[in-house]
Amino acid sequence: MMTPEKNIFKKYATDYDPVKIASIDGTDTEPHDRGVVRALCSEYAPNKLVKGDPQRTLFIARLNPRTTQDTIQSEFSKFGRIVHCRLVKDIVTGKSKQYAFVEYESYSDMEKAYRDMHKEYIDGTEIIVEREAERRLDGWRPRRFGGGFGGQKESGQLRFGCRKRPFKKPLIIT
Protein backbone atom coordinates (compact mmCIF):
# COMPACT_ATOMS: atom_id res chain seq x y z
CA MET A 1 0.00 0.00 0.00
CA MET A 2 1.38 3.41 -1.00
CA THR A 3 1.72 6.14 1.58
CA PRO A 4 -0.18 9.34 0.73
CA GLU A 5 2.12 12.22 -0.29
CA LYS A 6 1.30 14.28 2.81
CA ASN A 7 2.53 11.50 5.14
CA ILE A 8 5.96 11.10 3.56
CA PHE A 9 8.64 12.50 5.87
CA LYS A 10 10.88 15.18 4.39
CA LYS A 11 13.96 16.44 6.22
CA TYR A 12 13.72 19.90 4.63
CA ALA A 13 10.66 21.96 3.84
CA THR A 14 9.24 21.69 0.32
CA ASP A 15 6.24 23.91 0.98
CA TYR A 16 5.81 26.63 3.56
CA ASP A 17 3.36 26.23 6.42
CA PRO A 18 4.25 28.72 9.21
CA VAL A 19 2.78 26.48 11.93
CA LYS A 20 4.75 23.45 10.77
CA ILE A 21 7.96 25.41 10.15
CA ALA A 22 7.84 26.85 13.69
CA SER A 23 7.29 23.39 15.16
CA ILE A 24 10.15 21.38 16.64
CA ASP A 25 9.15 18.17 14.86
CA GLY A 26 6.84 19.52 12.14
CA THR A 27 3.67 18.12 13.73
CA ASP A 28 2.13 21.17 15.46
CA THR A 29 -1.39 22.08 14.37
CA GLU A 30 -1.87 25.33 16.36
CA PRO A 31 0.30 28.48 16.24
CA HIS A 32 2.34 28.95 19.42
CA ASP A 33 3.57 32.53 19.07
CA ARG A 34 2.60 35.92 17.61
CA GLY A 35 5.11 35.61 14.76
CA VAL A 36 3.36 32.50 13.45
CA VAL A 37 -0.06 34.18 13.73
CA ARG A 38 1.34 37.23 11.87
CA ALA A 39 2.63 34.95 9.10
CA LEU A 40 -0.74 33.19 8.81
CA CYS A 41 -2.60 36.51 8.56
CA SER A 42 -0.19 38.21 6.15
CA GLU A 43 -0.67 38.58 2.44
CA TYR A 44 2.49 38.19 0.40
CA ALA A 45 3.10 37.51 -3.26
CA PRO A 46 6.59 36.71 -4.61
CA ASN A 47 8.10 39.33 -6.88
CA LYS A 48 7.13 38.29 -10.43
CA LEU A 49 9.90 40.45 -11.93
CA VAL A 50 12.67 38.30 -10.45
CA LYS A 51 14.26 36.23 -13.20
CA GLY A 52 16.36 33.09 -13.05
CA ASP A 53 16.10 29.58 -11.72
CA PRO A 54 15.28 29.42 -7.98
CA GLN A 55 16.72 25.87 -7.82
CA ARG A 56 20.19 27.27 -8.66
CA THR A 57 19.99 30.44 -6.56
CA LEU A 58 21.54 31.04 -3.15
CA PHE A 59 20.49 33.56 -0.52
CA ILE A 60 23.46 35.12 1.30
CA ALA A 61 22.72 37.01 4.52
CA ARG A 62 24.40 38.83 7.41
CA LEU A 63 26.82 40.57 5.07
CA ASN A 64 29.07 43.34 6.29
CA PRO A 65 27.53 46.74 5.33
CA ARG A 66 30.78 47.53 3.47
CA THR A 67 30.63 44.35 1.34
CA THR A 68 30.17 45.18 -2.35
CA GLN A 69 28.56 43.22 -5.15
CA ASP A 70 32.02 42.77 -6.72
CA THR A 71 33.29 41.16 -3.50
CA ILE A 72 30.36 38.73 -3.44
CA GLN A 73 30.89 37.95 -7.12
CA SER A 74 34.59 37.22 -6.62
CA GLU A 75 34.08 35.10 -3.47
CA PHE A 76 31.30 32.97 -4.94
CA SER A 77 32.74 32.64 -8.47
CA LYS A 78 35.34 30.25 -7.01
CA PHE A 79 32.66 27.55 -7.13
CA GLY A 80 31.53 27.96 -10.72
CA ARG A 81 30.10 30.27 -13.34
CA ILE A 82 27.67 32.83 -11.91
CA VAL A 83 24.72 33.79 -14.11
CA HIS A 84 23.49 36.62 -11.90
CA CYS A 85 24.61 38.24 -8.65
CA ARG A 86 22.56 40.90 -6.85
CA LEU A 87 23.37 42.73 -3.63
CA VAL A 88 20.06 44.11 -2.34
CA LYS A 89 20.17 47.84 -1.55
CA ASP A 90 17.76 50.28 0.01
CA ILE A 91 15.88 52.05 -2.77
CA VAL A 92 16.07 55.46 -1.04
CA THR A 93 19.52 55.55 0.58
CA GLY A 94 21.35 53.16 -1.75
CA LYS A 95 22.93 51.43 1.26
CA SER A 96 23.28 47.67 1.41
CA LYS A 97 20.49 45.74 3.13
CA GLN A 98 23.21 43.19 3.95
CA TYR A 99 21.86 40.30 1.89
CA ALA A 100 22.32 39.11 -1.67
CA PHE A 101 21.30 36.48 -4.21
CA VAL A 102 23.69 34.50 -6.41
CA GLU A 103 22.45 32.34 -9.30
CA TYR A 104 24.78 29.70 -10.72
CA GLU A 105 24.85 28.22 -14.18
CA SER A 106 24.81 24.67 -12.82
CA TYR A 107 23.07 23.07 -9.86
CA SER A 108 26.26 21.26 -8.77
CA ASP A 109 28.17 24.57 -8.54
CA MET A 110 25.36 26.01 -6.42
CA GLU A 111 25.51 22.95 -4.12
CA LYS A 112 29.29 23.34 -3.68
CA ALA A 113 28.93 27.01 -2.72
CA TYR A 114 25.98 26.19 -0.43
CA ARG A 115 28.02 23.55 1.36
CA ASP A 116 31.35 25.41 1.58
CA MET A 117 30.44 29.08 2.12
CA HIS A 118 27.97 28.76 5.01
CA LYS A 119 29.44 30.30 8.17
CA GLU A 120 32.48 31.61 6.25
CA TYR A 121 33.78 35.16 6.64
CA ILE A 122 33.58 37.92 4.06
CA ASP A 123 35.01 41.33 4.98
CA GLY A 124 35.43 40.14 8.57
CA THR A 125 31.78 39.14 9.06
CA GLU A 126 30.39 35.60 9.32
CA ILE A 127 27.74 35.03 6.65
CA ILE A 128 24.93 32.53 6.30
CA VAL A 129 24.09 30.83 3.02
CA GLU A 130 20.73 29.18 2.28
CA ARG A 131 18.85 28.10 -0.80
CA GLU A 132 16.46 30.73 -2.10
CA ALA A 133 13.02 30.18 -0.56
CA GLU A 134 10.72 32.86 -1.99
CA ARG A 135 10.14 31.22 -5.38
CA ARG A 136 11.03 27.66 -4.36
CA LEU A 137 8.58 27.13 -1.48
CA ASP A 138 4.84 27.55 -2.05
CA GLY A 139 3.33 29.87 0.55
CA TRP A 140 6.67 31.40 1.61
CA ARG A 141 6.50 34.41 3.92
CA PRO A 142 9.60 36.53 4.67
CA ARG A 143 10.71 37.20 8.22
CA ARG A 144 9.21 40.72 8.24
CA PHE A 145 5.76 39.10 7.94
CA GLY A 146 6.39 36.62 10.74
CA GLY A 147 7.72 33.91 8.44
CA GLY A 148 11.23 32.83 7.60
CA PHE A 149 13.30 29.99 9.01
CA GLY A 150 15.84 31.58 11.27
CA GLY A 151 15.94 33.91 14.19
CA GLN A 152 16.65 32.94 17.74
CA LYS A 153 13.90 33.65 20.25
CA GLU A 154 14.51 34.64 23.86
CA SER A 155 13.61 31.14 25.03
CA GLY A 156 16.32 29.76 22.77
CA GLN A 157 13.86 27.93 20.53
CA LEU A 158 14.49 28.27 16.82
CA ARG A 159 12.19 28.04 13.86
CA PHE A 160 12.91 24.77 12.17
CA GLY A 161 13.06 23.23 8.71
CA CYS A 162 16.24 24.94 7.54
CA ARG A 163 19.89 23.90 7.51
CA LYS A 164 20.62 24.66 11.16
CA ARG A 165 17.76 22.62 12.55
CA PRO A 166 16.14 20.30 9.99
CA PHE A 167 12.89 18.56 10.85
CA LYS A 168 13.23 15.43 12.93
CA LYS A 169 10.92 12.46 12.55
CA PRO A 170 8.26 12.61 15.27
CA LEU A 171 8.56 10.03 18.06
CA ILE A 172 5.77 7.50 17.94
CA ILE A 173 5.35 5.96 21.36
CA THR A 174 3.39 2.72 21.44
Cα–Cα separations (whole angstroms), residue 27 to 7, 8, 19, 103, 167: 11, 13, 9, 33, 10
pLDDT of residue 171: 57
**pTM beyond 0.75:** no
Domain range for residue 98? 54-131
pLDDT of residue 24: 65
Look at the chain and report how many structural domains it folds into: 2
The type of residue at 41 is C
Q: Are residues 73 and 115 in the same domain?
A: yes
pLDDT band at 156 (very low <50, low <70, confident <90, very high): very low
Q: Are residues 21 and 89 in the same domain?
A: no
Q: What is the CATH number of the domain that holds 62?
A: 3.30.70.330
Q: Is there a domain that residue 1 lies in?
A: no
pLDDT of residue 47: 74
pLDDT in tens, 61-92: 999 999 999 999 999 999 999 999 999 999 99
